[in-house]
A and B are shown apart, each in its own frame.
Chain A
Amino acid sequence: MADIYEPQTEADAAAMITEAAREGRALAIFGGNTRAGFGQKVEGAAFTAKRLRGITAYNPSEMTLTALAGTPVAEIEAELADNGQMMAFEPADHRMMMGTEGVPTIGGLFATNTSGPRRFVSGAARDSLLGIRFVNGMGEVIKSGGRVMKNVTGLDLVKLLAGSYGTLGFLTEVTFKVLPVPRTEATVVVTGLNDAEAAIAMSAALATSCEVSGAAHLPESVRWLFGKNGLPDGPATLLRIEGVEASVADRVNRLQPFLQRYGAVSQIDQGDSQQIWREIRDVTPFSEDGSCKPLWRISCAPSAGHQLLAALRLETGVNAFFDWQGGLVWMQMEGDGEAEMIRAYLKRLGGGHATLIRARDSVRAAIAAFEPQEKGVAALSAAVKAKLDPKGIFNPGRMG
């Protein structure tokens, strides 16, 4: 048998997986391999979806698109842009962060449930995913969901496969919801806030009727790692407004005076605004520069993010910024084995999960990359895995 599998069709993939299952041969599933560093390292024969390529159905007025799993994200984004549409969950390009090359695929995007700054308004990748086809660990082709917006017909295997990092099935085709690209955008900037003040300002802004679609805080220590993008100096708290021109102007005009009680307020428009949110989305300040410093992604209650960082700063070298109103913290650490400390503080602050996104192989080998689960949930997850991949051939160990 070959060491690299590149099925050309779904039927090919099913046949190859059937054989692998029979032989109990582990497969390292990927698309473009740009996020291979997420999770534990996988030993197994490389098995890629990259030759399953092409948009199979797209009717802009239905707001859904269907594509084979190995279709490059860029190809889909270009097609959507031609029709004034987009993936609302704002998919990130993680190549700089991971120091990888290759072509991100649409299957990989959903398999890792990769979502950007708009996540707290428009949902995660999993919320946009409407239907899938996949090959399970027995080599059977399974479909779930469909191409309609609302569907509660049977168990939602779509959600289960999203974010399962190729450990439950080999995605062959995805159907997802798309939305019109906002006509314009602007970002209201509050300058000079510390992390705790920023958390309060962001929470207040999101409690207004201004429909903020991005809420991030860039502490002083990371500001220089972002582009200038028309921002004033000092720590910046960013609140994005999107929509038609009249509506953006109107909401910016309401938000600006409201935020003056927290700090100095200014505004950046279209081009600068798009660029800064792209940098936040792609985590460019913590791009891999050869040193492979550990990078953590923390998902927690928005009000807990800054408390976590404050606690960690007293104990270790850490640089970080906040997205999702503070509920998503990207942290680059100076030291290596700090998983236990991070997770202990997180637990004390009401829970959430800390995921090791990037680290040297030796560090990755010693740390559970994904937050260890409570016993009952872990048992259930293992039981679910056994029902989809009974021989354990898909990405063994990747999720711990």
Chain B
Amino acid sequence: MSGAIALKAPDPAILSRRDQIIADLADFLPAGTVVSSERELKPFETDGFIAYRRMPLVVTLPRTTEEVAAIMKYCAKYKVPVVPRGAGTSLSGGAIPQEDAVVVALTRMNRILEVDYPNRCARVQAGVTNLAISEAVSADGFFYAPDPSSQLACTIGGNIGMNSGGAHCLKYGVTTNNLLGVKMVLFDGTVIELGGKALDASGYDLLGIVCGSEGQLGIVTEATVRLIAKPEGQRPVLFGFETSEGASACVTDVIAAGLIPVAIEFMDKPAIEICEAFAKAGYPLDVEALLIVEVEGSETEMDAMLKAIIDIARRHGVKTVKECQSATEAALIWKGRKSAFGATGRIADYICMDGTVPLSQLTNVLRGTAKIVARYGLRVANVFHAGDGNMHPLILYNINDPDEARRAEEAGNEILKLCVDAGGCLTGEHGVGIEKRDLMTHQYSKPDLDQQMAVRAAFDPDWLLNPSKVFPLEGRS
């Protein structure tokens, strides 16, 4: 990668105190909690945004909220920056460390503390993986709704940091809509609880602003999340179209007809080929665009809804309609989609964009994206959540070719600006991180950003928490 995104220069005073800081942390934390050898630090130097990497000052692996509080208290006292981390799957660099920061990784806090079916919620530690929650309650007929593609690995704490979504949030909403409460540690070690088992919290919606704050307002150590009863049945159907325009228009018309499936996923030809080669999901290879539409409910409900959707698809020149006949087939269809990023990674390096646009702009933005990428002499695969306009162009490049890497980064920036100009936003579910930090001024005016930063400062006056992320380094108040 070109390395065009500046990271804050490390504070030499902190670097020079490294040994002391490590010794101090080891002094008040249980044995095995502090990681400081180069070999052990290496796995923490980047996240899912692999183009950038920085070795952390030291990594801590606390097991309790109290340990997190002790670390924060220490770091606040000595003004040492802190970078919170879950599984490190961020695609925007949200968990990338910095040389003068203590990483607080929550992966050892991975217990499900309570499952409360009468109140349909679960209380979990922040390091629990997204999928582990659904797995724990599945046998009893429940699930946790947000389902990012990385759900096998990503943690609920990270999901809260990025307000993660997934394919099924068209119906069930994203993390913020499924989060009831958190326990969190503030910059100075104060432990607070926001929300709980009640649907509405009192006072200002601090929970609402903590969700999606990318680890800048505090470290979430526990979460209370909503559980939802599983539908009676689910059925994904594949629709192959001869043109991307046809597929996009079909999405708009399905929504306009008042049919809200659980998921509408879009893949263009390059993405279909990549995913099919990897997952052998039975995707048609003779089409330009594919929609995976999933409906759920009883057989009667699913039949009625699918019939209406198929009628609409026919009006837009659908070439293939493939209803799956078994749970295995259904699982395979989703395997293809959910492995899209991984499968792409096998054939090339890529950066994944996450702009979201109003539905009426899907076709325009797809065309614009193709033009931009072609102008930079690169290839793109599109695979995204069409039902809510959340686009994921994957720009393919070679990470070892500095010029190509620079072009990929510039093309990505142009695509995101195009999304904003089309009435959309820079990021729908991956977060700003460092990746989109310097584009924030394209979406927000100075007063908008100043106001956000002022609110941030109410939580973290010294800017110690994940400080290199989200807000442009220039012009911080």
Measured CB to CB, the residues of A under 8 A from B are 59-64, 84-85, 113, 115, 119-120, 123-124, 126-127, 136, 140-144, 146-160, 162-164, 168, 179-181, 183, 199-200, 203, 206-209, 211, 243-244, 246-247, 250-251, 254, 299-304, 324, 327-328, 350-353, 355, 370-371, 373-374, 376-378, 380-381, 383-388, 399
A157 near B430 with CB under 8 A, answer no
If A60-B256, A127-B176, A153-B425 touch, whether A247 touches B300 (CB-CB below 8 Å) is yes
The interface centre, meaning the residue of B230, B425, B449 with most chain A CB atoms within 10 A of its CB, is B425
Chain B residues in 8 Å Cβ range of A151: 356, 425, 427-428
Stretch at the interface among B30-38, B70-78, B116-124, B125-133: B116-124
Q: Complex formed: what's the CA distance from A271 to B149 in Å?
A: 43
A301 near B451 with CB under 8 A, answer no
Q: Complex formed: what's the CA distance from A371 to B201 in Å?
A: 10
Chain B residues in 8 Å Cβ range of A154: 432, 440, 443-444, 449, 452, 470-471
A353 near B202 with CB under 8 A, answer yes
A209 near B360 with CB under 8 A, answer no
- A355 partner, pick from B202, B388, B457, beta carbons under 8 A: B202
Chain A residues in 8 Å Cβ range of B429: 150, 152
Number of interface residues of B (CB under 8 A): 95
B205 near A162 with CB under 8 A, answer yes
B356 near A142 with CB under 8 A, answer no
* Dominant secondary structure of chain A at its interface with chain B: mixed
The A-contacting residues of B in range 191-208, CB under 8 angstroms, are 191-194, 196-208
Instruction: Report A390 CB to chain B, min CB distance, Å.
Output: 9
- B297 partner, pick from A211, A300, A302, A376, beta carbons under 8 A: A211
Digitize B164-205: 1 where CB-to-A-CB distance is under 8 Å, 0 elsewhere: 010001100110110000000010001111101111111111
Chain A to chain B contacts (Cβ below 8 Å), 8 pairs: A84-B258, A127-B176, A151-B356, A156-B211, A209-B297, A299-B199, A302-B120, A377-B194
A149 near B389 with CB under 8 A, answer yes
The interface centre, meaning the residue of B198, B303, B443 with most chain A CB atoms within 10 A of its CB, is B198
Q: Complex formed: what's the CA distance from A300 to B199 in Å?
A: 7
The A-contacting residues of B in range 356-373, CB under 8 angstroms, are 356-360
Digitize B236-259: 1 where CB-to-A-CB distance is under 8 Å, 0 elsewhere: 000000000000000011011011
Is B298 interfacial (CB-CB < 8 Å)?
Answer: yes
Is B305 interfacial (CB-CB < 8 Å)?
Answer: yes
If A146-B424, A246-B304 touch, whether A374 touches B458 (CB-CB below 8 Å) is no
Is B474 interfacial (CB-CB < 8 Å)?
Answer: no
Interface pairs A-B: 8 shortest CB-CB: A159-B208, A180-B258, A150-B428, A301-B197, A353-B202, A61-B256, A383-B458, A149-B388
B451 near A160 with CB under 8 A, answer no
The interface centre, meaning the residue of B163, B197, B211 with most chain A CB atoms within 10 A of its CB, is B197
B304 near A119 with CB under 8 A, answer no
B432 near A152 with CB under 8 A, answer yes
A207 near B202 with CB under 8 A, answer no
A157 near B186 with CB under 8 A, answer no
Chain B residues in 8 Å Cβ range of A140: 447, 451
Chain A residues in 8 Å Cβ range of B458: 380, 383-384, 386-387
- A209 partner, pick from B192, B229, B358, B444, beta carbons under 8 A: B229
Instruction: Report A25 CB to chain B, min CB distance, Å.
Output: 22
A152 near B428 with CB under 8 A, answer yes
Is B445 interfacial (CB-CB < 8 Å)?
Answer: yes
Is B65 interfacial (CB-CB < 8 Å)?
Answer: no
A303 near B118 with CB under 8 A, answer yes
Chain A residues in 8 Å Cβ range of B447: 140-142
If A156-B211, A377-B206 touch, whether A119 touches B199 (CB-CB below 8 Å) is yes
